[in-house]
């Protein structure tokens, strides 16, 4: 028992594969970021170098989250959530605006995006909530955690950050699914949603910013006006499609190199990657992501306790949601909602937080055999 | 531990649920893969095409339009650099915003910009929105470039007429090809924004002068910055034209008319070369070759003087007594009159119950053909017309080219009318009335002619019936091979009349100037033959000329040739509402003829300099 315990505290093959996958995806991301930004000024340093710095900080966060016992971490969930809400409030009034949305807090030369931090904290809060006591009845199981999530969700939607908001809902739904909802309750919920939809639509559509509405309209028919609203979606599709089977090669992506595709290093980095590496490259990246998610689900299923399992599920569902929605939106399957591709898109907050959550995942795995501590 | 137990009881379904998540994940990823396969493999070539088009902009290289010179190589039309504003729709994100910005920056009419942007044509091809921008505007646009995606300023050649108003009707002007024109086969290969001749020689010789556009495929980024040029197809400059006019003579002709409305045509009867062709009022082709605002257009089109009308080839006037020249020839040829047969003129001619007046109320007495021409006796020609009949008159009129186009290389030439019984049947659906023959005999009634036709007619008479098609272009210089191609004179046939007839008529015409109705055209420098004419504008004439409002006054005609012995120049002068031809028109013709004689005599006067333009290139040899 002791032997197995010590073994579990170190790195085993499983961990190495896991870390290897993360590094491979990060590497492809840095390559694509460099490819699309190599001829532009990224401020104090080239983008790829800055991304490497974020990855370095992310690695530190990864290690911290890996080492720190998730049980003691979970006890900090509510205070952390309070902090997040404060930061979101601060952003609302004092934040740095960019592209019509107010999402950032300035920290010296850097900006910090609390909504990324909020995603991880939300996972902690929900996992903590469900694992602390048996939550029975639909009030405790569905409504209360929903209300718990609501202030954060509303503050994020107010920024507005539709992508992060949707991922909040996705994590909540995934957790709910894992904890288990009676099929009856699920049915009632569905019925309610359908009935409430027209009213909710009014509220949601009315609260959206013009650019968000336009993006959704453009999604419905991107070819409607290639100079205008559908421009982004169409250029992204052209970038991906023109990569064909084998791609145009590194630095060869004309769509991104000639800047027809905006935000090629952030939200649309997948389109850049697909253009330069083609369908074959895309398959490789998808396989890497599926493998990472698969291993993460493995961790969830072997988690020692409910807290660990729920943490793992929350993190995996967040990862899944971001990957699917990001690729889906660049490929023109979903409206453009502004979700970065985890580990690939350029961005400090997102990279660090994603790596931190993956560290937490490994933490869950690491402690799955330590029955006594 | 409690947590573990809890997991056993309430959490038992966890693995099954996790399985759902896995299956769901695989399904979703498979869906993503399918979508990407569809985009990249199935539709890949389509998107590849789109991306190629995305990065290459077709930039048309406008050809330099051919230059236009006068017969001695004086530059009349050239090209100067100017700035044009282009918009590529594909790169424009917000069209209305752009229109707003351009309106603000350049003070353009937003409706006009919108019209240009919504006109037919691809989204990828830049379309011209404004030309002849000032340097200030061009710099303004360039400095706001980053805010104006899809907008670019290009240096282009702009048509320029150094002489301004000189020979405006002849040269014409250029303008953007219209949407209607683009549909026609003669404008095939052009595109929106192409500049074509819209009037004058610029229009009729457009195919020669136009040249051929080249193409530059430029790889650009999304901001329109040029990254590299991919393919170049050089534009081909248009051919140069050498006109038949002598710009010095042209200027004199225009100055002679001054502020009055009218036209002067001078041509070389031995080959049909038009030496000068003036029409007043005129216009500045530099202004018309620019983009005009609708308001400017309305002003020009509604101008009562109709400045865009080339009165020389498009103005149709009753020939008045100048018509007696072909009448005299017809009379002799048809033997309606022998040279010596006389008609008694008592100042009027009774036909039916109407009295046809002679211009000289007291009458000319007994006149034969010679004196009838010299003094322009109406009664003599009433008699001739009455005896000959309208159809014979028409036959001879047509011999001299009346009622038909001269074939000059100008757009919209008018033919005038040479009436006949058949013509009236067709045009008016009414029988010819005998009285109408009498009016027609002195060039009134239905007969109308253009000044150009009259110049050609008097030239034909001067040249003893040998007729050439009036022409404006004597040579075309092929810019690509540097070959000057002289265009031959085009014979139009010969009037079938005996040399004796021409001799008699020309003798009389010479005396018109020396002692007849046109003594004001008498020159000490050269012998001139000619015929005056007064074209009636209003049928009823009451009181002296001065009391009639100007617009009802008669038009003054004078047709002439010189030197009488071996004619080198034929002239037709028409001065609108100026009254008698002898008083108003004859002096102008004299002045013009004297100028020409001075210019062409071997004396040093030939090199008289011309202030309007410096000769840029000399034609090899004057014809």
pLDDT at A104: 72
Q: What is the CATH number of the domain that holds B420?
A: 3.40.710.10
B-chain residue closest to A285, CA distance? B33
pLDDT at B247: 93
Chain A residues within 8 A of B36 when measuring between CB atoms? 240, 274, 279, 282, 286, 327, 331
Q: Is the pLDDT of residue B620 over 60?
A: no
Chain A residues within 8 A of B221 when measuring between CB atoms? 257-260
pLDDT at B544: 58
Facing residue for B90 by CB, picked from A226, A259, A262? A226
Integer angstrom CA distances of residue A1 from A8, A71, A281, B60 = 10, 21, 44, 80
pLDDT at A31: 92
CA distance A135 to chain B (A): 10
Contact criterion met (CB < 8 Å) for A320 and B33 = no
Task: Indicate which of B12, B21, B24, B227 best probes the interface with A, i.e. most A CBs within 10 Å of its own CB.
Answer: B21
Phi, psi of A348, deg, nearest 5: -70, -60
CA quadruple A81, A84, A88, A90: dihedral sign: positive
Interface list for B 100-159 with A (CB within 8 A): 123, 150
| Domain identity same for B267 and B371 | yes
Query: Is residue B130 situated within a structural domain?
Result: yes
Q: What are the DSSP calls for B406-468, one per residue?
A: ---SSTT----B---HHHHHHHTSSPPPHHHHHHHHTT-TT-BB-HHHHHHHHHHHHTTTEEE
Integer angstrom CA distances of residue A241 from A252, A253, B99 = 14, 11, 33
| Domain identity same for B186 and B227 | yes
CA quadruple B350, B352, B357, B358: dihedral sign: negative
Contact criterion met (CB < 8 Å) for B22 and A294 = yes
A-chain residue closest to B37, CA distance? A279
Contact criterion met (CB < 8 Å) for A260 and B39 = no
Q: What are the DSSP calls for A331-345, one per residue?
A: TTSS-----PPTTTS
Torsion of CA A332, A333, A335, A340, to 10 degrees: -80
Using the Cβ of B91 and the Cβ atoms of chain A, whether some distance falls under 8 Å is answered with yes
Q: What are the DSSP calls for A305-322, one per residue?
A: SHHHHHHHHHHHHHHHHH
B-chain residue closest to A295, CA distance? B22
Average pLDDT over residues B264-291: 90
pLDDT at A21: 94
pLDDT at A345: 92
pLDDT at A227: 43
Lowest mean pLDDT of A20-29, B344-353, B413-422, name the range: B344-353
pLDDT at A109: 64
Chain B residues within 8 A of A334 when measuring between CB atoms? none
CA distance B17 to chain A (A): 6
Confidence of residue B182 (pLDDT cuts 50, 70, 90): confident
Chain B residues within 8 A of A331 when measuring between CB atoms? 32, 35-36, 39
Task: Indicate which of B30, B47, B87, B118 best probes the interface with A, i.e. most A CBs within 10 Å of its own CB.
Answer: B47
pLDDT at B616: 45
Where is B81: in which H helix or E strand? strand B75-87
Last residue of a domain, one of B223, B243, B263: B243
Confidence of residue B532 (pLDDT cuts 50, 70, 90): very high
β-partners of residue B262 are B280, B575
Average pLDDT over residues B167-193: 85
Chain A residues within 8 A of B13 when measuring between CB atoms? 180
Contact criterion met (CB < 8 Å) for A238 and B37 = no
Task: Note whether B386 and B441 are within 8 A (CB).
Answer: yes
| Domain identity same for B332 and B375 | yes
Integer angstrom CA distances of residue B561 from B369, B462, B497 = 20, 6, 19
Chain A residues within 8 A of B227 when measuring between CB atoms? 258
pLDDT at A287: 95
d(CA A78, CA A1): 34
| Domain identity same for B236 and B322 | no
CA distance B209 to chain A (A): 37
| Domain identity same for B207 and B236 | yes
| Domain identity same for B578 and B502 | yes
Query: Is residue B455 situated within a structural domain?
Result: yes
pLDDT at A5: 47
CA distance B150 to chain A (A): 10
Higher pLDDT, B533 or B90: B533
| Domain identity same for B138 and B268 | no
A-chain residue closest to B24, CA distance? A320
* The length of chain A, given as a count of residues: 373
| Domain identity same for B238 and B341 | no
Facing residue for A274 by CB, picked from B18, B40, B219? B40
Contact criterion met (CB < 8 Å) for B32 and A327 = yes
Contact criterion met (CB < 8 Å) for B40 and A320 = no
Contact criterion met (CB < 8 Å) for A297 and B89 = no
Range of the domain at B269: 247-283+309-607
Query: Is residue B344 situated within a structural domain?
Result: yes
Query: Is residue B23 situated within a structural domain?
Result: no
DSSP B66: P
Task: Note whether A242 and A255 are within 8 A (CB).
Answer: yes
| Domain identity same for B124 and B270 | no
Beta-carbon contacts of A288 under 8 Å, excluding residues fewer than 6 positions away, are A21, A24, A25, A28
d(CA B400, CA B458): 9
Using the Cβ of B17 and the Cβ atoms of chain A, whether some distance falls under 8 Å is answered with yes
A-chain residue closest to B39, CA distance? A241
Query: Is residue B313 situated within a structural domain?
Result: yes
| Domain identity same for B266 and B213 | no
Tokens standing for residue A238: 């052209």
Query: Is residue B291 situated within a structural domain?
Result: no
Give burial (CB, 10 Å; 0-12/13-18/19+) of A18.
buried
Chain B residues within 8 A of A130 when measuring between CB atoms? none
| Alpha helices (runs of H) in B77-109, residue ranges in sequence order | 95-106
CA distance B49 to chain A (A): 8
Q: What is the residue extent of each domain of chain A?
A: 2-366
Chain B residues within 8 A of A246 when measuring between CB atoms? none
pLDDT at A304: 83
Facing residue for B93 by CB, picked from A180, A227, A259? A227
Query: Is residue B535 situated within a structural domain?
Result: yes
Using the Cβ of B11 and the Cβ atoms of chain A, whether some distance falls under 8 Å is answered with yes
Please name which of B95, B599, B79, B216 lies closest in space to residue A231, comparing C-alpha atoms: B95
Task: Note whether A66 and A363 are within 8 A (CB).
Answer: yes
Using the Cβ of B46 and the Cβ atoms of chain A, whether some distance falls under 8 Å is answered with yes
pLDDT at A225: 43
| Domain identity same for B447 and B582 | yes
Lowest mean pLDDT of A200-209, B62-71, B563-572, name the range: A200-209
Quickly tell me which residue has 């994020």 as its tokens: A156
Contact criterion met (CB < 8 Å) for A244 and B33 = no
Strand order in the sheet with B56-61: B56-61, B214-220, B226-233
CA distance B114 to chain A (A): 15
Using the Cβ of B2 and the Cβ atoms of chain A, whether some distance falls under 8 Å is answered with no
| Domain identity same for B222 and B332 | no
Contact criterion met (CB < 8 Å) for B39 and A324 = no
Question: What's the pTM?
Answer: 0.61
pLDDT at B111: 83
Q: Is the pLDDT of residue B174 over 50?
A: yes
Task: Indicate which of A171, A177, A215, A238 best probes the interface with B, i.e. most B CBs within 10 Å of its own CB.
Answer: A238
Helix (H, G, I), strand (E, B) or coil at B35: helix
Query: Is residue B52 situated within a structural domain?
Result: no
CA angle B382, B386, B388 (to 5 degrees): 115
User: Buried b vs exposed e over B292-305: b needs ≥16 C-beta within 10 Å?
Assistant: eeeeeeeeeeeeee
Chain A residues within 8 A of B98 when measuring between CB atoms? none
Structure confidence by residue, pLDDT tens digits, B321-335: 999 999 999 999 999
Average pLDDT over residues B68-82: 91
Average pLDDT over residues B365-369: 91
Contact criterion met (CB < 8 Å) for B45 and A131 = no
CA distance A167 to chain B (A): 16
CA distance B58 to chain A (A): 16
CA distance A105 to chain B (A): 28
Lowest mean pLDDT of A35-49, B20-34, B355-369, name the range: A35-49
| Alpha helices (runs of H) in B261-416, residue ranges in sequence order | 285-288, 294-302, 311-314, 324-333, 369-374, 378-388, 390-399
Higher pLDDT, A36 or B246: B246
**Which residues of B are known catalytic residues?**
321
Higher pLDDT, A39 or B414: B414
| pLDDT (tens place) for every residue of chain A, 373 residues total | 444 444 445 556 568 888 999 999 999 999 999 888 877 655 667 888 889 999 999 999 999 998 888 889 989 999 999 999 998 888 888 766 665 566 777 766 667 788 888 999 999 999 999 888 777 777 887 788 888 888 888 888 877 777 888 888 888 888 887 877 666 566 666 656 655 555 555 566 666 666 666 666 655 554 444 444 467 778 888 889 888 888 888 887 777 777 777 778 888 899 999 999 999 999 999 999 999 999 898 888 888 888 888 899 899 989 998 999 899 888 888 777 778 999 999 988 899 999 999 999 998 888 776 554 4
Task: Indicate which of B36, B53, B217 best probes the interface with A, i.e. most A CBs within 10 Å of its own CB.
Answer: B36
Instruction: Please tell me the total count of domains within chain B.
Output: 2
Chain A residues within 8 A of B43 when measuring between CB atoms? 241
d(CA B107, CA B555): 46
Facing residue for B17 by CB, picked from A177, A260, A289? A177
Mean pLDDT score across all residues of chain B: 84
Structure confidence by residue, pLDDT tens digits, B221-244: 666 666 666 656 788 889 999 999
Contact criterion met (CB < 8 Å) for A245 and B44 = yes
A-B Cβ pairs (cutoff 8 Å, strict): 156
């Amino acid at each position: 028992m002791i032997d197995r315990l010590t073994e579990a505290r170190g790195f085993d093959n499983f961990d190495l594969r896991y870390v290897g996958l993360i590094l491979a995806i990060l590497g492809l991301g840095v390559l694509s970021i460099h490819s699309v930004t190599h001829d532009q000024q990224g401020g104090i340093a080239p983008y790829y170098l800055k991304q490497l710095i974020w990855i370095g900080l992310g690695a530190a966060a990864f290690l911290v989250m890996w080492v720190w016992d998730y049980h003691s971490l979970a006890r900090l969930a509510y205070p952390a959530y309070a902090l997040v809400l404060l930061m979101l409030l601060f952003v609302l009034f004092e934040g740095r605006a960019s592209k019509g949305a107010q999402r950032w807090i300035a920290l010296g030369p850097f900006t910090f995006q609390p909504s990324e931090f909020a995603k991880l904290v939300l996972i902690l809060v929900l996992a903590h909530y469900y694992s602390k006591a048996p939550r029975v009845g639909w009030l405790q199981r569905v409504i209360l955690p929903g209300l718990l999530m609501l202030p954060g969700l509303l503050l994020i939607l107010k920024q507005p950050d539709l992508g992060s908001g949707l991922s909040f809902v996705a994590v909540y739904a995934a957790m709910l699914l894992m904890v288990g909802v009676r099929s009856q309750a699920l049915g009632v919920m569905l019925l309610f949603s359908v009935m409430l939809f027209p009213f909710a639509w009014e509220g949601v559509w009315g609260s959206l910013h013009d650019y968000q509405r336009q993006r959704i309209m453009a999604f419905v028919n991107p070819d409607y006006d290639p100079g205008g609203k559908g421009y982004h979606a169409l250029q992204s599709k052209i970038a991906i499609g023109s990569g064909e089977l084998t791609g145009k090669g590194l630095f060869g992506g004309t769509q991104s190199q000639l800047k027809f595709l905006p935000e090629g290093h952030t939200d649309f980095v997948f389109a850049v990657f697909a253009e330069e590496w083609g369908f074959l490259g895309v398959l490789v990246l998808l396989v890497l992501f599926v493998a990472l998610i698969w291993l993460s689900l493995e961790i969830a299923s072997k988690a020692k306790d409910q807290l660990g399992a729920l943490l793992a599920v929350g993190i995996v569902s967040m990862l899944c949601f971001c990957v699917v929605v990001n690729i889906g939106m660049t490929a023109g399957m979903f409206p453009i909602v502004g979700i970065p591709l985890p580990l690939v898109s350029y961005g400090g907050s997102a990279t660090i937080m994603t790596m931190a959550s993956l560290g937490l995942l490994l933490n869950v795995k690491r402690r799955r055999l330590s029955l006594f501590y | 531990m409690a947590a573990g137990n809890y997991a056993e009881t309430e959490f038992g379904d966890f693995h099954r649920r996790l399985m759902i998540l896995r299956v769901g994940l695989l399904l979703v990823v498979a869906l993503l893969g399918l979508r990407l396969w569809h985009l990249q493999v199935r539709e890949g070539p389509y998107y590849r095409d789109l991306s190629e088009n995305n990065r290459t902009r077709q930039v048309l290289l406008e050809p330099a339009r051919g230059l236009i010179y006068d017969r001695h190589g004086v530059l009349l039309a050239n090209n100067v650099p100017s700035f044009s504003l282009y918009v590529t729709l594909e790169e424009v994100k917000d069209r209305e915003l752009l229109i707003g910005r351009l309106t603000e920056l350049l003070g353009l009419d937003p409706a006009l910009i919108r019209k240009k942007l919504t006109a037919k044509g691809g989204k990828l091809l830049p379309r011209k929105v404004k030309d002849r921008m000032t340097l200030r505007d061009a710099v303004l646009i360039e400095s706001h470039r980053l805010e104006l995606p899809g907008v670019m300023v290009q240096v282009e050649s702009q048509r320029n007429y150094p002489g301004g108003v000189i020979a405006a009707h002849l040269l014409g002007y250029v303008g953007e090809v219209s949407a209607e024109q683009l549909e026609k086969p003669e404008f095939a290969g052009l595109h929106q924004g192409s500049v074509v001749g819209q009037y004058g020689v610029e229009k009729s010789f457009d195919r020669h002068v136009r040249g051929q556009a080249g193409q530059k495929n430029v790889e650009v980024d999304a901001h329109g910055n040029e990254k590299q040029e991919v393919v170049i197809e050089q534009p081909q400059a248009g051919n140069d034209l050498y006109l038949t006019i002598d710009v010095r003579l042209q200027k004199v002709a225009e100055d002679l008319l001054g502020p009055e409305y009218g036209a002067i045509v001078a041509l070389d009867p031995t080959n049909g070369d038009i030496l000068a062709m003036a029409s007043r009022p005129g216009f500045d082709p530099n202004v018309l070759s620019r983009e005009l605002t609708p308001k400017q257009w309305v002003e020009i089109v509604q101008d009562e003087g109709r400045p865009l009308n080339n009165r020389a080839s498009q103005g149709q006037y009753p020939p008045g007594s100048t018509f007696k020249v072909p009448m005299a020839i017809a009379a002799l040829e048809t033997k309606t009159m022998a040279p010596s047969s006389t008609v008694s003129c008592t100042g009027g001619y009774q036909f039916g119950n109407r009295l046809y007046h002679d211009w000289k109320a007291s009458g000319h007495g007994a006149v034969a053909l010679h004196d009838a021409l010299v003094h322009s006796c109406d009664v003599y020609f009433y008699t001739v017309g009455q005896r000959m009949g309208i159809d014979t008159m028409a036959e001879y009129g047509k011999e001299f080219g009346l009622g038909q186009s001269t074939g000059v290389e100008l757009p919209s030439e008018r033919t005038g009318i040479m009436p006949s019984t058949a013509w009236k049947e067709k045009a008016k659906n009414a029988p010819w009335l005998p009285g109408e023959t009498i009016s027609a005999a002195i060039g009134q009634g239905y007969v109308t002619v253009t000044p150009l036709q009259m110049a050609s007619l008097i030239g034909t008479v001067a040249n003893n019936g040998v007729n050439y098609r009036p022409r404006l272009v004597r040579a075309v210089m092929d810019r690509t091979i540097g070959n000057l191609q002289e265009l031959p004179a085009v014979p139009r046939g010969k009037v079938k009349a005996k040399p004796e007839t021409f001799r008699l008529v020309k003798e009389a015409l010479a005396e018109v100037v020396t002692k007849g109705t046109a003594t004001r055209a008498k020159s000490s420098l050269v012998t001139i033959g000619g015929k005056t004419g007064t074209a009636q504008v209003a049928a009823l004439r009451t009181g002296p000329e001065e009391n009639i409002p100007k617009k009802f006054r008669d038009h003054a005609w004078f047709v002439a040739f010189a030197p009488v012995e071996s004619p080198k120049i034929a002239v037709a002068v028409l001065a609108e509402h100026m009254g008698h031809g002898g008083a108003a028109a004859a002096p102008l013709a004299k002045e013009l003829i004297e100028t020409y004689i001075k210019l062409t005599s071997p004396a040093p006067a030939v090199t008289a300099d011309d202030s309007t333009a410096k000769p840029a290139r000399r034609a090899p040899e004057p014809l």
